[in-house]
Amino acid sequence: MTTELNWVGAAMQQTVPWVRTVGIEFAEVTPERAVLHLPDDPELRNHVGGPHAAMIFGLGETATGAVTLAAFASRMERATPLPVRSQVAYQRIARGPLTAVAVLGRPAPDVLAELAAGARPEFGIDVTITDGDNRETTRMTVVWTLRPSR
């Protein structure tokens, strides 16, 4: 993981117990991108032997949270990041460990300019999830907002 942002994974594991409970690993976190892994665990599988859809979604959503935290941590005193909506497409049954790659959909300075102008900006983060055979199994987009502090 990028050294100056290695605190992101630790912070998320501490403040979101589910992240720690299921064993999500933070391989790379930058203000533009995050790469997270979910090890294979029989306790997290569905009725067809792959990771349960809730685990897949949770991994992807956590990856978007890592990007959000890395990109906007310096503004957390002025705004609270919140997911607004998400869209997910499960393309095939996943097998084995999962990797999620999340990419910020618009430049952080543009989002911060909207916040500074008094708006409640929204920004999408696209995620691609692959399985243990490096097959793309899921695509999702999570739209986040920065809710201005009162």
The residue among 44, 43, 71, 47 whose CA lies nearest residue 58 is 44
- Superfamily for the 3-148 domain: Hotdog Thioesterase (3.10.129.10)
pLDDT at 6: 87
Which amino acid is residue 130, in one-letter code? T
- List the 136-148 sheet strands across, edge first: 25-29, 33-38, 98-104, 122-130, 136-148, 79-90
pLDDT at 4: 73
The angle that helices 53-72 and 7-15 make with each other, rounded to 10 degrees, is 130
Domain-by-domain residue ranges, the chain?
Answer: 3-148
Considering Cα of 13, then 16, then 17, then 19, what sign does the dihedral take? negative
> What DSSP line would sit under 133-148, residue for residue?
T--EEEEEEEEEEEEE
| Rounded mean pLDDT for each run of 10 residues along the chain, 150 residues in total | 76 94 96 97 92 97 98 92 97 96 97 95 98 97 94
Give the residues across from 26 on adjacent strands: 36
pLDDT at 123: 98
The angle that helices 53-72 and 108-116 make with each other, rounded to 10 degrees, is 70
